[in-house]
Structure 1
Amino acid sequence: MDPIDRIADAAAARAFRRLVRHLRHRDDAQNVDLMGLAGFCRNCLSDWVGEAAGIDKAAAREAIYGMPYDRWKTEHQAEATPEQLQRMADSVAKNAG
């Protein structure tokens, strides 16, 4: 059994909510940079939540971002540079494995 599966659901939920709140606080961490480093971002997280909870994309994104996604993009998302986009592409390529 994977050790993560031994963690009680309530504890895992608390840790997940802490992660989400951390990402909301760190709006300076751009999604493209998260993708470039880790191969996932807030959008990925919201997709996973939507799939797990059976809710639509907009509701899942609002749950993760704490506001409608379009508002978050307007207030916090900067234009990605070619270098950021390349790092993201290289990182995402590692996800297939």
Structure 2
Amino acid sequence: MDAQTQLELEAATYRRMRQHLMQDRTDVQNIDMMNLTGFCRNCLARWYQQAAAEKGIEMSKDDGRQAFYGMTMDEWKANYQTDATGAQQEAFKTAFAENVDKKG
């Protein structure tokens, strides 16, 4: 497979994953994703922002989130986010420390 085809397949896979998370499974909470996988929609938005920075494109945290979510965080929270339980919040502390604090 040539490099361009690989790039196109990877981009198509990213777009499908984004659609799955943002349209097909809005019921899946970020906190559950983070607790189970070590990343969530916010991580994906941050990685998007970091990739833009590597290309010399300035993008704020909010801009990165809006690019990934297709809406502001306030809109996402109002439409889809539910309150986390105490157990979810405790598990999140560990997941965040293990996956975000260490890697940035």
Is 1:51 aligned to 2:50, yes or no? Answer: yes
**CA–CA separation in structure 2 for the residues paired with 1:12 and 1:89:** 31
Aligned-residue CA RMSD in angstroms?
2.0
Counterpart residue type for residue 61 of structure 2: K
Where structure 1 has 5 or more consecutive residues not aligned to the other structure, the ranges are none
Is 1:64 aligned to 2:64, yes or no? Answer: no
Counterpart residue type for residue 45 of structure 1: L
Is 1:13 aligned to 2:11, yes or no? Answer: yes
> Do the aligned residues in 2 keep the contact of 1:37 with 1:88 (CA within 8 Å)?
no
With over 3 angstroms needed to count, the CA separation of the structure-2 counterparts of 1:92 and 1:58, relative to structure 1, is closer
Of residues 65-74 and 43-52 in structure 1, the stretch that sits farther from structure 2 once superposed is 65-74
Q: How does 1:1-97 map to 2 (within 5 A)?
A: 8-25=6-23, 26-54=25-53, 55-95=59-99, 96=102
Counterpart residue type for residue 48 of structure 1: W
Where structure 2 has 5 or more consecutive residues not aligned to the other structure, the ranges are 54-58
* Higher RCO (C-alpha under 8 Å, 6+ residues apart): 1
TM-score, normalising length from structure 1? 0.83
> Do the aligned residues in 2 keep the contact of 1:36 with 1:84 (CA within 8 Å)?
yes
Q: Point out 4+ residue stretches in structure 1 off by more than 3 angstroms.
A: none
Counterpart residue type for residue 35 of structure 1: M
Identity %: 40
TM-score, normalising length from structure 2? 0.78
